[in-house]
């Protein structure tokens, strides 16, 4: 099974996620985009990937494991269900816990498998095909919006905050 792991483009390391990946490298074809982390994995890695390479790896992977950031939507738009772990402030992985809030919401309403404890990862990978099939047939993906609509939403939000 081909597994692609990505921690995104953050300047914050995500050692907690990457440390849970090592066990998968023995039994799967794993490639990890590791960012600034210094965790040594027994599989091929790269600090960062150009955007076209990132999309290519997402498209070709049987499973995508990622941080609970923008990559979740990229994976979902390609009709896949990512396994995602939220970066947490308490672990020094992010300045705040917005990824925790996002992942909790997506677990209830979206198409994502939340990874809250690294030790659960092998089980989530083993069951992923069934979980993904179920989510793709029972949960709707939010519709895409136009750039103009997004700009309008952002302008209204900024106007509320800048009063």
Domain at 32, CATH number: 3.40.50.2000
Domain membership of residue 37 as a residue range: 2-161
pLDDT greater than 70 at residue 163 = no
pLDDT greater than 80 at residue 45 = yes
79: left (phi over 0), alpha (psi -120 to 50) or beta: left
| DSSP notation for 59-98 | HH-SEEEEESSTHHHHHHHTT---EEE---GGGTSSSS-H
The predicted pLDDT at position 97 comes to 87
| Cα-based torsion angle of the residue sequence 1, 83, 39, 9 in order, rounded to the nearest 10 degrees | 110
* pLDDT tens by residue, 74-107: 999 999 999 999 999 888 788 888 899 999 999 9
What's the domain count of the chain?
1
């Amino acid at each position: 099974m081909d597994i692609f792991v990505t921690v995104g483009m953050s300047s914050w390391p995500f050692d907690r996620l990457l440390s849970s990946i090592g066990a998968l490298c023995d039994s799967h074809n794993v490639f990890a985009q590791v960012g600034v982390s210094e965790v040594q994995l027994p599989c091929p890695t790269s600090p960062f990937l150009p955007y076209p390479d990132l999309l290519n790896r997402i498209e070709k992977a049987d499973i995508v494991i990622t941080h609970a950031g923008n990559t979740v939507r990229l994976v979902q738009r390609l009709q896949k269900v990512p396994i995602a772990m939220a970066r947490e402030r308490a672990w020094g992985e992010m300045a705040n816990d917005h990824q925790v809030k996002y992942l909790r919401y997506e677990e209830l309403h979206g198409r994502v498998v939340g990874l809250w404890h690294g030790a659960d990862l092998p089980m989530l990978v083993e069951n992923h095909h069934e979980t993904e099939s179920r989510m793709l047939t029972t949960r709707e993906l939010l519709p895409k919006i136009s750039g103009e609509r997004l700009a309008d939403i952002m302008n209204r939000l900024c106007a509320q905050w800048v009063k």
